[in-house]
Structure 1
Amino acid sequence: MDKSFEKYQKRRLRSSYFSVIISIALVLFLVGILGLIVLKTNSITKHFKEKVAITVFLKDDAKNDDIKILQAELKKAEYTKSVTFISKSEAAKIYSEEIGENFLDFLGENPLKDAFDVSLKSDFVTPEKMLEIENQLKIRSIVAEVSYDKPLIEILTKNITRLSFWMLLFSGLFTLIAVVLINSSIRLSVYSKRFTIKTMQMVGATKGFIRVPFIIQSIKLGIIGAFVSIVGLLLFITYINKMVPEIELLSDYKILGILFVTIISLGILITWISTFFATQRFLNLRTDELYY
């Protein structure tokens, strides 16, 4: 009978530990995803900003030497990421493929112009800086027109600013929720041993002596939960990296290192604090209050 009861208690204890580990792992996994987004915000915004391009249309009478000089200057410009020259014949071919018919047969001549597609560095993709670049290019004698999507730039800039604010807000809120959820799991684990705590106290054990084994055990569970969440994050990051390789999640070892160390530290810190206060509560209760 005693052996049967002992086995039951061990199964119950293992089940309790498993529940705590899963709770910690799930919460830290979600915190990790949020942390990854916060840490990679600059890379993500840079990726989208550098998709923006300015198209510089050239006049029909522009000389080849002048075009080459402008191309060389654009390549050396501080705002340029890459420059692609598109001749009017290439542009006509691309446009014909898009509309599904050769519009030159209908018009009889090519109304399109030679142009440069200039991809910009992310730091220069703001309404003010792009307007400045536009004005610099317009004064060139061979430039007919400078074109880019102004409404898109304004929307992109506003949304990035809003995103940064909300990400910081959600980070703080979610960290608080993580603390509360992990704390609840730890409190339930300690609650199941409240009579053991009181028995040890009644036979003369000090509060520190009683508390230490619970804290050590909880920290172990926190570390295990953190490593489980890290495995989940690595699988998640690998999947996202395959879908959007430009973000380069797996190659950014510094950010991944910061993220994983933070997750492990949170797992240790939250479980330590939660266990300390949970055991303290039951140590301060009277024996008759343990039943409520």
Structure 2
Amino acid sequence: MVEKLKYLLAYAATNLVRAGWGGLASIASIAVSFVIIGMFVLLIQHINALVAQWQEQFQVSVFLDDQITPLQIDMLKRRIENEAAVKSFTFTSKEEALTNFRRELKGQESLLEGLGDNPLPASFQLKIREGYQSSEALKTLSAYLSRLEGVEEIQYGQDWVERMSQAVRIIKLLGAIIGSVLTLGSAMIVSNTIRLAVYARAQEIEIMRLVGATKAYIRAPFLVEGMLQGGLGAALALGALFAAYRFVAPTFTVTSPLFLRTTGQGFMESSIMVGLVVGGAAIGALGSAMAVSRFLKT
């Protein structure tokens, strides 16, 4: 088995060298495709890290009516404690809210002169469990809380949450569409390159068929050649992306800390990189199978 694998790899590598510029063009085309795919993977990875970090800090503010009684506050606490979406919560009284506000205005306390009675409401700050932070889940929670007696207003950055959710969906959909188109294009490029190699060795293949070689035996070297092209193209793309990332990241961290310094996210995870190389090899095998199958049918 090992000897057969060595033979297939050696034969495929020799064929790839024989292909010359055609083989290099095929590998380069796959590399360009995977650079674009990899850029989307990096973007989505950073967005996911940013969203995860935001979710850890996310809070829903429940502002209470000024006329609320201590008994009603206790009842609200029990209701909130029993709510499955709430991970934890804190209560801030009117007096605590004013004290915190004064602390934030340190040196500018004169701005509070003339306000008379404390205008700030008591409130609950809720931390939301993972799985309940989608726009729809937050709307449901907000609608429930707003119906409770003594609740004046609910705030959780509704517009921002919806815009963020929509942006993530659009980027993922766009990445999937572009990735699918590039995958098909890469498979076609490999198919054309392998088809030329097959036609160049048509006489050799015909002799193999005459002496009883099976289709699988004839197909195997070309499949391995396609896998080499796809895998090398994906590996080159990762190398180019890594070099660009190392060069751009320090500058990007300063000019736009949102994605790098805030998230602390580095280059791709090793499992994703392995997946891209394996994906490249699979695309190469697909393109090769398309070319060889078409020839063997004739």
TM bin, normalised by shorter chain, reads: 0.5 to 0.7
SS at 1:123's partner residue? coil
Instruction: Give the one of 127, 143, 155 matched to 2:139.
Output: 127
What's the counterpart of residue 114 of structure 1? 122
- How far is 1:103 from its partner? 1.8
Gaps in structure 1 of 5+ consecutive residues: 1-8, 286-292
1:56 aligns with 2:56: no
CA distance in 1, matches of 2:166, 2:39: 20
Structure 2 residue identity aligned to 1:242: L
What's the counterpart of residue 177 of structure 1? 182
Aligned residues with identical type, % of pairs: 16
Structure 1 residue identity aligned to 2:123: A
SS at 1:22's partner residue? helix
What's the counterpart of residue 159 of structure 2? 152
Instruction: Give the one of 78, 96, 101 matched to 1:92.
Output: 101
- How far is 1:123 from its partner? 0.9
SS at 2:61's partner residue? strand
Provide closer, same or farther for how the CA distance between residues 61 and 45 of structure 1 changes in structure 2, counting only shifts above 3 A: closer
Provide closer, same or farther for how the CA distance between residues 115 and 95 of structure 1 changes in structure 2, counting only shifts above 3 A: farther
What's the counterpart of residue 272 of structure 1? 285
Q: TM-score, normalised by structure 1?
A: 0.62
SS at 2:204's partner residue? helix
Deviations 1:89-145 (A, max 9, x none): 234326647x96632224355322333322333516432221102223xx25xx6x2
Equivalent residue runs for 1:1-292 within 5 Å? 13=19, 15-32=21-38, 34=40, 51-57=58-64, 59=66, 74=80, 77-86=83-92, 87-93=96-102, 96=105, 102-121=110-129, 122-123=131-132, 125-136=137-148, 139=149, 145-148=152-155, 152=159, 156=162, 160=165, 164=169, 167-168=172-173, 171-172=176-177, 174-188=179-193, 190-191=195-196, 193=197, 196-201=200-205, 204-206=207-209, 208=215, 211-230=219-238, 242-245=260-263, 257=271, 259-260=272-273, 262-281=275-294
CA distance in 2, matches of 1:113, 1:165: 38
Provide closer, same or farther for how the CA distance between residues 249 and 71 of structure 1 changes in structure 2, counting only shifts above 3 A: farther
- How far is 1:245 from its partner? 1.9
Q: TM-score, normalised by structure 2?
A: 0.61
Cα pair 1:56 1:115 within 8 Å, conserved: yes
Mean Cα deviation higher: 37-46 or 272-281: 37-46
SS at 1:112's partner residue? coil
Structure 2 residue identity aligned to 1:225: G
SS at 1:113's partner residue? coil
Cα pair 1:54 1:117 within 8 Å, conserved: yes
What's the counterpart of residue 289 of structure 1? none
Structure 2 residue identity aligned to 1:212: A
Structure 2 residue identity aligned to 1:126: L
Provide closer, same or farther for how the CA distance between residues 264 and 133 of structure 1 changes in structure 2, counting only shifts above 3 A: same
Higher relative contact order (CA 8 A, sep 6+): 2
- How far is 1:185 from its partner? 4.3
CA distance in 2, matches of 1:195, 1:36: 39
| Count of residues in correspondence between the two structures | 261
Cα pair 1:25 1:226 within 8 Å, conserved: yes
Provide closer, same or farther for how the CA distance between residues 68 and 133 of structure 1 changes in structure 2, counting only shifts above 3 A: closer
SS at 1:242's partner residue? coil
What's the counterpart of residue 253 of structure 2? none
Provide closer, same or farther for how the CA distance between residues 47 and 17 of structure 1 changes in structure 2, counting only shifts above 3 A: same
Mean Cα deviation higher: 37-46 or 108-117: 37-46
Provide closer, same or farther for how the CA distance between residues 167 and 10 of structure 1 changes in structure 2, counting only shifts above 3 A: closer
CA distance in 1, matches of 2:143, 2:82: 19
Structure 2 residue identity aligned to 1:114: A
- How far is 1:179 from its partner? 1.8
Cα pair 1:16 1:189 within 8 Å, conserved: no
SS at 1:53's partner residue? strand
Deviations 1:203-244 (A, max 9, x none): x23384554333222212222333344556677899687344
